[in-house]
Amino acid sequence: MNLQHLLRRRREDDRPVKVALIGAGKFGSMFLSQVPTIPGLQVAVIADLDTDRARQTCRDVGWDEARIGATRFVESGVDACSADGVEVVIEATGMPEAGVTHALASIAAGKHLVMVNVETDVLCGPLLARRAREAGVVYSMAYGDQPALVAEMVDWGRSAGFTIAAAGKGTKYLPAYHQVTPDDVWTHYGLSPEEAAAAGMNPQMFNSFLDGTKSAIEMAAIANACDLAVPEDGLKFPPCGVDDLAHILRPREVGGQLDRDGMVEVVSSLERDGRPVYRDLRWGVYVVLKAPNDYAAACFKQYGLPTDATGRYAAMYKPFHLIGLELSISVLNAALRGEATGVSQTWRGDAVAVAKRDLAAGDMLDGEGGFTVYGKAIPAARSLANGALPIGLAHRVKLTRPVEAGSPVTYADIAAPTGSRAYDLRREMEQAFVPESGT
């Protein structure tokens, strides 16, 4: 990368890269903490529903009063999108409805958009990316989050001439986690409710990481950005450490656990009996490469890559991801190079709502990480054929008929929301895109 060279030119021309941040939560705060040490990058506007809290967040992450005073704080994300001088908008609210509104406003205003909000990207990212291209602006995944990091590794592997056998991330997973609710989430994190509350930790948000929803969303995003397949009946979460990636994440026909080459999958840091996996990848991301010929396979061995028994499959991984601390890479790529750090290019995967318990007509769905549903990754073609309800639309909608525990919720099971731009744009995408289901 030559981002520092390009940014230095902008500093010399007194043209800093100006950014609008929407949502000063954890991801946004991590980004803000880095800004003072990146000369030439300026956060001109911060949008948050609580502007006083946003100012205090800036103090908490090390901003001085001069920098805070030079920054405009607003409540409206739409206002931030249209702010004069802003080149790049960062959408970090985590809410699909807000994400769609801000994405459309940013594109209409001719601003590049970094979509931290993976929930929105999986809901209708391919259509938003198309609209951004038509408007001549960049629509990008957020570097530091797993989907963008995996997309970079996949792009590197293919550009070097390898087949991507598998790509994904690690997480802490057991099958029972799909039924965990915000009431009992902290026991799985080793915290008391009081300790979590004192740390400002949101139980529903943290539960979305545990119950499989966030993994489903992120793998669907990777599938759409990298043209990879999603397992037909959802992620399997095989227990796997870094030394076994190439052995487990290869096709069944050669001894692995995948249906075929070219798939997304999440590996668990726990064995099914709860024991820790040796050298787990809980915080990291990976790709499994397939050598195109015997010579390349021999090179895998010669240069120390961990391979399977055939020597044909090799794994590369990154043990950690730094979330918002790395977000500036996306911002600078968009502004200085006109490039995305990962973008939805096709519709291969979807994250759909599945009932955590028996649900009755009249029940109100409470969305990602809640009490009623969890997200499951399935092929987009299957989601469309079955009329499955995306997890991103399963918030504050009422069921019109019962849904059994473990069954997907469908559009036919809910009272369609009115006045929802996210709902309308998703339905438009379903008409505009034919899901791809090939290998």
| Average pLDDT, integer, range 291-302 | 96
What are the distances in angstroms from CA 28 to CA 20, 43, 57, 114? Answer: 11, 11, 10, 12
Residue 267 tokens read as: 């590996």
Other beta carbons within 10 angstroms of residue 180's beta carbon come to 20
User: Torsions phi, psi of 376, nearest 5?
Assistant: -125, 130
Confidence at residue 1, expressed as pLDDT on a 0 to 100 scale: 64
Name the CA dihedral angle for 383, 389, 393, 396, rounded to a multiple of 10 degrees.
Answer: -170
**How confident is the model over 96-106, as pLDDT tens digits?**
999 999 999 99
Q: State the pLDDT at residue 195.
A: 86
Give per-residue burial for 209-237: e unless 16+ CB within 10 Å, then b: bbbbbbbbbbbbbbbbbbbbbbbeebbeb
Residues 125-153 have a mean pLDDT of: 97
How much is the average pLDDT of 247-258?
97
Cβ neighbours, 10 Å, residue 401 = 12
For the stretch 11-35, pLDDT in tens is: 999 999 999 999 998 899 999 999 9
406, amino acid identity: G
Strands of 319-372, DSSP E? 349-355, 364-366
Q: Which amino acid is at 146?
A: Q
**Token pair 């609209």: residue:** 131
| Nearest-10 crossing angle of helices 146-159, 213-226 | 30
Backbone angles phi, psi at 377, to 5 degrees: -85, 125
Please say if the pLDDT value at position 310 is more than 60: yes
pLDDT of residue 437: 61
Mean pLDDT over 143-164 rounds to 98
Tokens at 86, concatenated? 């802003």
Are the CB atoms for 157 and 326 separated by under 8 Å?
no
> What pLDDT shows up at residue 265?
98
Q: Is the pLDDT of residue 278 over 70?
A: yes
Q: Which domains does the chain have, with CATH numbers?
A: 3-145+326-337 (3.40.50.720), 147-173+212-320 (no CATH), 353-432 (3.90.1210)
Phi, psi of 182 (to 5 degrees): -60, -20
- Looking at residue 191, its pLDDT comes to 87
pLDDT reading at 113 higher than 80: yes
Pick the closest to residue 210 from 238, 230, 186 (CA basis).
Answer: 186
DSSP 8-class letter at 111: -
Quick: pLDDT tens for 154-209.
999 999 999 999 999 999 999 999 999 999 999 998 888 888 887 778 899 899 99
Residue 291 has pLDDT above 60, yes or no: yes
Q: How far apart are CA 393 and CA 71, in angstroms?
A: 34
**Using alpha carbons only, how large is the chain's radius of gyration in Å?**
22
Average pLDDT score over residue span 32-53 = 97
Using CA atoms, how far residue 223 sits from 26, 350, 433, in Å, is 26, 9, 15
* Strand, coil or helix: 265: strand
Whether the pLDDT of residue 439 is over 50: the answer is no
pLDDT digits (tens, 9 = 90+) for 373-406: 999 999 999 999 999 999 999 999 999 999 999 9
pLDDT at 59 > cutoff 70 = yes
Specify the range with the lowest mean pLDDT, choosing from 264-268, 295-299, 301-305. Answer: 301-305
Residue 190, pLDDT score: 86
- CA gap 267, 88 in Å, rounded: 34
| pLDDT at residue 270, as a whole number | 97
